[in-house]
């Protein structure tokens, strides 16, 4: 890797504030895990299942962020600022419609869904309580996704960072008061998260309606570019989410200790993945803007630099995590069985980081280029491989190690498929259309 590149300044200008916002987002559930984990094993097992389902729902709909960023960045690069403002309003209407629909469906299917994923006994009751309360935050959380997508697309990275940081601070205070002050237990943790998300959603509504546009009314024609990219990102993300839901379900059937350990590693994975994704967000903005302006060669060169930085950061994460297998999990639980299982999976979790760095960068590059059809099909293929391996891990009693080896294979398969596409340059299509 070259020590200096003409693209480094722009990459870091975009990635560093995005890093702050992305690192703050998963702290919602990390705070839940740390607080609930000290309430007892049934509580952290409940959070391991309900928290994974909720996080998966938000992840599936992250196309509201990525799809909005891609089309707004390309419009900005093509000099169409008024079109970008119209896209901001359309992103708001789409996110509100999906959010309220998801809230109604989530409350209706919560019990059979959790039971089908392996929830039972006391931990199953806690999981249902947490899910029903936290799901109230769905509409606000999805508006926040759309708001961040628009602001990233116009390269305004500081404002989403400010909103997300304030929301996270509010979440910590509310959870401590509700759980330890009011003694509401796991219900207090869910309530604190839902209230903090509501405040965050209101702030992003203001940002989405702020830019001037000739019309801000819902329009299917204006939504179409966003919906096309978004629907393909949705399928891609749903396939990835199905893989992690499968992993959680297999671990839940193994026992409370396994799902508790998986919850710790999974939430740390999400945290680190989003930190690595800061470079991917820079990729979405820079690639989208350069292709919109007709500069395919510049987009490729900047993209290659971003991949190198992501791999380097992932390697640093792996080096730091490997020797801490018996240190970091203790911040989340004191249960010896959970700690033992966490130690077993830890090397596979740590070694996943450099591979993940390359994959996240490639994701951002292809999303910025709106090459989302390829992303969709390649993810479906990689997820099918993982699900087959996870089923074997359960059937042949490979334990939690087998599940995390399968997750490593998932990331490696994605790296091969996306790497081939990047090298071929078929994604580098210029212009607004």
Evaluate whether 193 touches 175 at the Cβ level (below 8 Å). yes
pLDDT at 25: 65
Question: Within 10 A of 183 (CB to CB), how many other CB atoms are there?
Answer: 8
The residue ranking higher by pLDDT, 26 or 371, is 371
CA 329, CA 229: separation in Å to the nearest integer? Answer: 38
Evaluate whether 316 touches 241 at the Cβ level (below 8 Å). no
Domain chopping of the chain, boundaries? 8-424
Confidence of residue 26 (pLDDT cuts 50, 70, 90): low
The residue ranking higher by pLDDT, 251 or 433, is 251
Question: Within 10 A of 165 (CB to CB), how many other CB atoms are there?
Answer: 15
Mention every residue, 6+ apart, whose C-beta is less than 8 A from residue 292.
73, 74, 75, 76, 77, 78, 430, 431, 432
pLDDT at 22: 72
Encoded tokens for 275: 């930190």
Say whether pLDDT at 423 is over 90: yes
Q: Of the segments 185-189, 200-204, 426-430, which one has the largest average pLDDT value?
A: 200-204
Mean pLDDT, the chain, as a whole number? 88
pLDDT at 74: 86
Summarised one tens digit per residue, pLDDT across range 68-92 is: 998 888 888 877 888 889 999 999 9
CA 397, CA 401: separation in Å to the nearest integer? Answer: 10
- Of 235, 363, 361, 366, nearest to 288 by C-alpha is 366
What mean pLDDT is predicted for residues 214-242? 85
pTM exceeding the 0.85 threshold for the entire prediction: no
Mention every residue, 6+ apart, whose C-beta is less than 8 A from residue 162.
none
DSSP 340-399: HHHHHHHHHHHHHHHHHHHHHHHHHHHHHTT-HHHHHHHHHHHHHHHHHHHHHHHHTT-H
Say whether pLDDT at 196 is over 80: yes
Summarised one tens digit per residue, pLDDT across range 245-280 is: 889 888 888 888 888 888 888 888 887 887 788 888
Confidence of residue 214 (pLDDT cuts 50, 70, 90): confident
Confidence of residue 420 (pLDDT cuts 50, 70, 90): very high
pLDDT at 432: 67
The CA distances from residue 227 to 53, 68, 141, 275, 286, in Å, are 24, 9, 19, 26, 21
pLDDT at 433: 58
pLDDT at 218: 87
Summarised one tens digit per residue, pLDDT across range 118-144 is: 777 888 888 899 999 999 999 999 999
pLDDT at 20: 78
User: What is the chain's Cα-based Rg?
Assistant: 21
CB under 8 Å, gap of 24 or more: what pairs does 156-159 form?
157/13, 157/14, 157/16, 157/17, 157/18, 157/21, 158/17, 159/207
The residue ranking higher by pLDDT, 37 or 265, is 265
Confidence of residue 424 (pLDDT cuts 50, 70, 90): very high
């Amino acid at each position: 890797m070259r020590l200096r590149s003409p693209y480094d300044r722009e990459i870091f200008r975009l990635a560093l504030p995005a890093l702050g916002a992305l690192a703050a987002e998963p702290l919602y559930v990390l705070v839940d895990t740390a607080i609930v984990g000290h309430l007892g094993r049934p509580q952290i097992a409940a959070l391991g299942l309900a928290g994974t389902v909720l996080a998966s729902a938000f992840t599936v709909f992250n196309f509201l962020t990525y799809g909005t960023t891609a089309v707004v960045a390309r419009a900005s690069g093509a000099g169409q600022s008024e079109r970008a403002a119209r896209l901001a309003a359309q992103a708001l209407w789409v996110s509100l419609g999906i959010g309220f629909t998801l809230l109604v469906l989530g409350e209706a299917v919560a019990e059979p869904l959790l039971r089908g994923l392996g929830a039972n006994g006391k931990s199953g009751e806690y999981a249902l309580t947490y899910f029903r309360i936290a799901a109230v935050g769905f509409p606000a959380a999805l508006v926040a996704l759309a708001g961040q997508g628009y602001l990233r697309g116009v390269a305004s990275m500081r404002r989403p960072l400010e909103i997300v940081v304030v929301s996270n601070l509010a979440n910590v205070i509310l959870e401590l008061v509700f759980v330890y002050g009011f003694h509401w237990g796991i219900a207090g943790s869910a309530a604190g998260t839902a209230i903090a998300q509501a405040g965050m959603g209101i702030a992003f509504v203001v940002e989405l309606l702020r830019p001037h546009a000739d019309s801000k009314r819902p329009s299917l024609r204006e939504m179409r570019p966003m919906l096309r990219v978004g629907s393909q990102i949705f399928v891609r993300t749903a396939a990835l989410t199905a893989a992690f839901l499968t992993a959680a379900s297999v671990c839940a059937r193994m026992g409370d200790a396994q799902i508790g350990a998986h919850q710790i590693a999974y939430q740390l994975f999400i945290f680190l993945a989003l930190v690595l994704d800061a470079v991917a967000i820079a990729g979405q903005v820079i690639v989208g803007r350069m292709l919109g302006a007709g500069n395919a060669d510049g987009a490729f060169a900047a993209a290659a630099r971003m991949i190198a930085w992501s791999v380097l950061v992932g390697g640093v994460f792996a080096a730091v995590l490997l020797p801490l297998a018996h240190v970091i999990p203790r911040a989340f639980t004191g249960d010896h069985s959970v700690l033992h299982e966490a130690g077993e999976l830890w090397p596979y979790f740590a070694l996943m980081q450099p591979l993940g760095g390359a994959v996240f960068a490639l994701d951002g590059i292809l999303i910025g280029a709106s090459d989302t059809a390829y992303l969709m099909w390649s993810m479906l293929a990689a997820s099918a491989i993982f699900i087959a391996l996870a089923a074997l891990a359960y059937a042949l009693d490979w334990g939690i190690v087998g599940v995390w080896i399968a997750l490593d294979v998932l990331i490696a398969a994605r790296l091969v498929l996306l790497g081939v596409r990047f090298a071929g340059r078929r994604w580098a299509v210029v212009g607004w259309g």
